[in-house]
């Protein structure tokens, strides 16, 4: 199945939600031409039986439409179907021939009789007054040998044109087709009409704020002249900022393995630009991180050696971490990065890291304890930001990695953006840059090119020492760093005291109970488990699917599910399940974005950054979070949210 601009999760889940909340005849409307279309046709039957034909309709509109009295007829008289029931907004209606076992995976909406000819049919869909709503005049797709269905590529395009149709390549139990899920020939990249990069709102002027999304956005929801920047190659935007640096680059990275970014930083250091890098250090013996962080350490060693590959020369980049890094010694892997066969020109040391004694070639130093030993890499320096020339701040959810943007090395080589879903905020503000630099220097331990390992502070050892309010181009921006700044606590208070009409979100990991409880109270006027009555406050959201069923996830409360297997269940379930979904992205839903009162006159606000709404995000990891009070920027995030939400299976009401 397919919706131009929208892709949906399994029919069985959607059907369950709808039948639990909406009766079949709720708020039905009359249809106009193209609002309901013939969407997929199994004119060839199935692998079980060539007589097992089926037809699917799709509702393009935002309203439920009554089909009672409608007809779907072939010009030759067979089949001739009088429809009953209704089709929900942005939903599907499955007609199965003879019985309900034609498509065994899902239940039919109606059974019909009458065979279709394999050489082609002219099918007409007419409403109860006889008005032609849609028509198919030939089999433009489908395969009788493989039992592959004919499916629409674009539900808004006329059904009597060949480019509107394709042959399904997805597998279902009875052949090739997509009953209950997105058409295989649907528009790429999250349901948008195209995968082209759209740069609509970009400025280098002082006080400019540029928002970038690497996935698609639905710009039909844009306010006037405010179309979002989407399908953006974030690497190119960061390279643009680095390559234009004139004096300094402060670079904080949780993870990095993009060769172009590494090379750009090395080139700037070779030009005499002051480059400082803070990178997260992972336990090199942890099986889940060995390959990823071994690769990262090789790239970081390239930076530490500089363009001449010699240590101790002017083009070297100083890198600091929350815990020390020992060099990779595998000669083959080192050769693949152009590094010397051995790291023996670094000092070989035996050091105490946490409670573990380690020996190796120390090439990245870390924050030291008073006795000269090091903290363990058990916490995360989870920031991903750059400060360029003391005026540009480049931050967001994007880790500077192949997976984070491209998905695979092959995609990177081809320029295909199939990585995790991300956002980036780029701000030209000396005042904001100064705030970020204060945070950077606290971790660095000094404001010079040389870090002070004993003054350096990461994680809970940091203090709240930055301003939290800044005005940029008339826009009120709040700035918080974790730990110590109570960033998530500020979110809780924002929902409690300032959210008036609606809150939408996309989130990777959310376990903070206070935040979900405040949203519950807005939604149904109660903090108590399984109690409350809908208030009219609108909540919509998408969770990364990897955490959807975790007992600690806010998704459990919001969907009123009962968790089994948890000794101390912390969940306070909502009496009225909210329309929140697990994501249907090709990879991870990585953004941490909350949108409050978008497109209203009640201080539209968006919360963005690296901070997951969790104990780790608030109290343990080094994070940064921005709260942007601005209607236009909030609307740009809404455009991207709507793409993620409809992809996951949600329905967007009229804005």
Q: Does residue 582 carry a pLDDT above 50? A: yes
| Strands 92-97 and 110-112, bridge-based pairing | parallel
CATH assignment at residue 377 = 3.30.870.10
Q: Kindly state the DSSP code that residue 328 receives in the 8-state scheme.
A: P
Put residue 224 in one of left, alpha, beta given phi > 0 → left and psi -120 to 50 → alpha: beta
Distances from the Cα of 209 to the Cα of 205, 222, 627, angstroms:
9, 17, 13
Instruction: Assess if residue 177 is contained within a domain.
Output: yes
CA distance between the termini of the chain: 25
Residue 9 banded pLDDT, cuts 50, 70, 90: very low
Q: Does residue 10 carry a pLDDT above 80? A: no
Task: List the beta strands (DSSP E) in 327-458.
Answer: 348-353, 356-366, 384-388, 392-396, 423-428
Residue 13 banded pLDDT, cuts 50, 70, 90: very low
Task: Judge whether 22 and 16 are in contact, CB under 8 Å.
Answer: no
Q: Does residue 655 carry a pLDDT above 50? A: no
Of the candidates 618, 532, 546, which has an alpha carbon nearest to the alpha carbon of residue 577? 532
For residue 574, what are the domain limits?
Answer: 463-648
Residues 406 and 472 in one domain: no
Residues 367 and 488 in one domain: no
- Final residue of a structural domain among 444, 471, 497: 444
Instruction: Assess if residue 231 is contained within a domain.
Output: no
Task: Judge whether 392 and 428 are in contact, CB under 8 Å.
Answer: yes
Residues 310 and 430 in one domain: yes
Q: Cβ neighbours of residue 489 under 8 Å, at least 6 residues apart?
A: 514, 618
Q: Kindly state the DSSP code that residue 220 receives in the 8-state scheme.
A: G
Q: Does residue 187 carry a pLDDT above 90? A: no
Question: What is the structure's pLDDT at 166?
Answer: 82
Report the number of distinct structural domains present in the chain.
3
Task: Judge whether 278 and 320 are in contact, CB under 8 Å.
Answer: yes
Q: Does residue 349 carry a pLDDT above 50? A: yes
Question: What is the structure's pLDDT at 64?
Answer: 85
Instruction: Assess if residue 277 is contained within a domain.
Output: yes
The sign of the dihedral angle between the CA atoms of 318, 322, 324, 326 is: negative
Q: Is the pLDDT higher at 7 or at 534?
A: 534
Q: Does residue 430 carry a pLDDT above 50? A: yes
Instruction: Assess if residue 192 is contained within a domain.
Output: no
Query: Mean pLDDT, to the nearest integer, of 580-588?
Result: 91
Rounded to 5°, angle at Cα 60 from 57 and 64: 85
The alpha carbon of 203 is separated from its chain's Cα centroid by a whole number of angstroms, namely 24
Question: What is the structure's pLDDT at 156?
Answer: 52
Residues 154 and 16 in one domain: yes
Residues 166 and 36 in one domain: yes
Q: Is the pLDDT higher at 563 or at 527?
A: 527
The three state secondary structure string of 59-83 is: ECCCCEEECCCCEEEECCCCCEEEC
Determine the 3-state secondary structure of 229 from DSSP.
strand
Question: What is the structure's pLDDT at 23?
Answer: 31
Q: Does residue 2 carry a pLDDT above 50? A: no
608-632: per-residue pLDDT in tens? 999 999 999 999 999 999 999 999 9
Query: Mean pLDDT, to the nearest integer, of 424-450?
Result: 98
227-280: per-residue pLDDT in tens? 999 999 999 999 999 999 999 999 999 999 999 999 999 999 999 999 999 999
The three state secondary structure string of 470-524 is: EEECCEEEEEEEECCCCHHHHHHHHHHHHCCCEEEEEECCECCHHHHHHHHHHHH
Query: Mean pLDDT, to the nearest integer, of 433-449?
Result: 98
| Strands 274-279 and 318-321, bridge-based pairing | parallel
Least confident of 322-331, 546-555, 569-578: 569-578
Q: Tokens for 471?
A: 């005005």
Q: Among residues of the chain, what percentage have pLDDT more than 70?
A: 89
Of the candidates 162, 172, 167, which has an alpha carbon nearest to the alpha carbon of residue 142? 167
Residue 484 banded pLDDT, cuts 50, 70, 90: very high
Query: Mean pLDDT, to the nearest integer, of 479-503?
Result: 97
Residue 25 banded pLDDT, cuts 50, 70, 90: very low
Query: Mean pLDDT, to the nearest integer, of 171-196?
Result: 70
Residues 521 and 634 in one domain: yes
Least confident of 111-120, 149-158, 191-200, 429-438: 149-158
Q: Is the pLDDT higher at 75 or at 169?
A: 75
Q: Does residue 424 carry a pLDDT above 90? A: yes
Residues 428 and 512 in one domain: no
The sign of the dihedral angle between the CA atoms of 14, 20, 25, 26 is: negative
């Amino acid at each position: 199945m397919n919706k131009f601009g929208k892709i949906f999760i399994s029919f069985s889940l959607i059907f369950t939600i709808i039948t639990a909340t909406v009766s079949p005849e709720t708020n039905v409307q009359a249809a106009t031409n193209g609002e309901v279309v013939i969407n997929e046709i199994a004119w060839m039957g199935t692998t079980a039986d060539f007589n097992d034909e089926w037809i699917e309709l799709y509702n393009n509109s935002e309203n439920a439409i009554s089909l009672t009295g409608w007809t779907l007829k072939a010009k030759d008289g067979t089949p001739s179907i009088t429809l009953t029931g209704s089709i929900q907004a942005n939903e599907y209606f499955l007609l199965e021939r003879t019985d309900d076992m034609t498509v065994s995976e899902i239940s039919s909406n109606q059974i019909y009789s009458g065979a279709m000819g394999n050489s082609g049919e002219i099918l007409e869909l007419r409403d109860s007054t006889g008005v032609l709503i849609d028509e198919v005049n030939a089999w433009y797709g489908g395969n009788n040998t493989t039992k592959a269905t004919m499916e629409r590529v674009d539900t808004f395009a006329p059904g009597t044109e060949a480019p509107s149709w394709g042959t399904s390549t997805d597998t279902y139990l009875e052949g090739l087709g997509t009953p209950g899920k997105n058409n295989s020939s649907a528009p790429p990249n999250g349901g948008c009409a195209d995968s082209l990069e759209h740069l609509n709102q970009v400025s280098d002027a002082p006080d400019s704020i540029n928002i970038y999304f690497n996935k698609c956005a639905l710009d039909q929801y844009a306010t006037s002249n405010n179309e979002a920047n989407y399908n953006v190659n974030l690497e190119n935007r960061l390279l643009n900022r680095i390559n234009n640096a004139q004096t300094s680059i402060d670079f904080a990275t949780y993870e990095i393995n993009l060769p172009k970014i590494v090379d750009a930083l090395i080139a700037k250091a070779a030009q005499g630009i002051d480059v400082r890098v803070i990178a997260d250090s992972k336990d090199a013996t942890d099986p889940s991180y060995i390959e990823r962080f071994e690769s990262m350490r090789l790239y970081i060693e390239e930076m530490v050696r500089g363009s001449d590959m010699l240590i101790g020369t002017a083009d070297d980049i100083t890198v600091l971490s929350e815990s020390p890094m020992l060099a990779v010694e595998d000669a083959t892997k080192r050769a693949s990065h152009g590094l010397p066969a051995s790291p023996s020109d670094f000092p070989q040391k035996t050091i105490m890291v946490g409670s573990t004694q380690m020996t190796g070639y120390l090439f990245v130093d870390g924050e030291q304890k008073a006795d000269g030993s090091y903290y363990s890499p058990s916490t995360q320096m989870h920031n991903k930001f750059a400060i360029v020339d003391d005026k540009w701040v480049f931050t967001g959810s994007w880790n500077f990695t192949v997976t984070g943007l491209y998905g695979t090395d092959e995609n990177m080589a081809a320029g295909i953006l199939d990585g995790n879903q991300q956002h980036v905020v780029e701000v030209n503000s000396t005042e904001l840059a100064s705030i970020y630099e204060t945070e950077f220097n606290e971790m660095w331990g000094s404001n010079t090119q040389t870090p002070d390992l004993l003054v350096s502070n990461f994680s809970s050892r940091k203090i709240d020492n930055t301003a939290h309010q800044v005005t940029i181009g008339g826009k009120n921006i709040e700035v918080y760093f974790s730990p110590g700044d109570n960033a998530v606590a500020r979110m809780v208070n924002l929902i409690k005291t300032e959210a008036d009409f609606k809150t939408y979100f996309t989130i990777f990991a959310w376990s903070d109970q206070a935040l979900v409880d405040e949203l519950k109270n807005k939604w149904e006027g109660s903090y108590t488990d399984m109690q409350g009555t809908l208030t009219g406050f609108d909540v919509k959201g998408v969770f990364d699917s990897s955490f959807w069923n975790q007992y600690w996830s806010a998704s459990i409360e919001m969907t009123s599910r009962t968790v089994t297997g948890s000794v101390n269940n912390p969940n306070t379930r909502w009496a009225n399940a909210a329309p929140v979904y697990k994501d249907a992205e090709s990879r991870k839903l990585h953004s941490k974005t909350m949108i409050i009162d978008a497109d209203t006159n009640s201080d539209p606000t968006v919360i963005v950054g690296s901070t997951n709404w969790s104990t780790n995000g608030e109290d343990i990891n080094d994070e940064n979070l921005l709260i942007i009070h601005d209607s236009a920027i909030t609307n740009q995030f809404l455009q991207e949210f709507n793409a993620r939400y409809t992809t996951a299976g949600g329905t967007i009401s009229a804005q």
